[in-house]
Structure 1
Amino acid sequence: MFEDEIATLRRMSKRQILMQLLNFLMIIASALMVWKGLALYTNSESPIVVVLSGSMEPAFYRGDLLFLGMPDEPLRVGDICVFKIPGRDVPIVHRVIKLHDELSMGTSGGDEV
């Protein structure tokens, strides 16, 4: 399987091998530049994520690619958000079903304990 590839490499000159290596490095550098450019444009540390579970079907299916952005307006019910839980590397995609105000999360202002 690899014998043909090794034989091809042995037939190539040092200059041809160097050109192949430079082409490969240019492809890698271009991919990284596109990734970083998308991250800057979308203001997101991870501008593209892959849906890993079927919990969002029929809106998104396993394997779908999501292009993310960080909008300036606040979240509303029905919006789809992607978030990370500390200690887990996999981002989670969910739809906002209820919003909680910070004021309603605390006490009601009385002497309740």
Structure 2
Amino acid sequence: MVRAGAVGTHLPTSSLDIFGDLRKMNKRQPYSSSFRLYYQVLNFAMIVSSALMIWKGLIVLTGSESPIVVVLSGSMEPAFHRGDLLFLTNFREDPIRAGEIVVFKVEGRDIPIVHRVIKVHEKDNGDIKFLTKGDNNEVDDRGLYKEGQNWLEKKDVVGRARG
């Protein structure tokens, strides 16, 4: 639908005419539009599956359920600032030592916490309990642990900061 204006000029009557021109251009391409749509969906699926495979591979390589975390608070300043990315490992055979920065989850809380180990108690049977504190906090983390819990155990650790 084209209206004639002055001699030799044509003005589109609606925005649909623009799409008509695009449809004409597509006919020159060697593949049908349904094939191109299928190709785009397949391409997107490959990108998503590649990202998932890389993430799962990192989980296996690092031994951590979450190999990359974001610092959410200022409790570890000046070592880490809000928004910093931490790369974690969590090899069970590595002992936890005072001064090490760990990411841990507390029962009843969904968000992991990034703090430094300040005390470690190791029993003869190999059980380890430890206490954490944020570098920028005045007191240790016993107030963050679940009620009645005074120490963390290895099972609470999501990972240890490596970079």
1:17-96 → structure 2 map (5 Å cutoff): 17-71=37-91, 72-96=93-117
Q: Secondary structure of the residue that 1:15 maps to in structure 2?
A: helix
Aligned residues: 97
**Secondary structure of 2:86's match?**
strand
Higher RCO, Cα 8 Å, sep 6+ = 2
Q: Deviations over 1:36-55 (max 9, x none)?
A: 00000001111111100011
Counterpart secondary structure, 1:18:
helix
Aligned alpha-carbon RMSD (Å):
2.3
Would you tell me which structure has more helix in proportion to its own residues?
1
CA-CA distance at 1:70 after TM superposition = 1.3
Identify unmatched segments of 5+ residues in structure 1: 1-6, 106-113
TM-score by length of 2: 0.54
Q: Which runs of 5+ in 2 are unaligned?
A: 1-18, 27-32, 130-163
- 1:80 and 1:42 map into 2 onto residues whose CA distance is 16
The whole-number CA distance in structure 1 between the counterparts of 2:122 and 2:42 is: 55
- Counterpart secondary structure, 1:97: strand
Q: Secondary structure at the match of 2:44?
A: helix
> Deviation above 3 Å: which 4+ runs of structure 1?
none
Q: Which has the larger radius of gyration?
A: 2
Three-state SS of the structure 1 residue aligned to 2:121 is coil
Deviations 1:3-62 (A, max 9, x none): xxxx6xx95711111111111111110110000000000011111111000111111111
Asked if 1:99 is matched to 2:120, the reply is yes
Q: Which amino acid in the other structure matches residue 53 of structure 2?
A: M
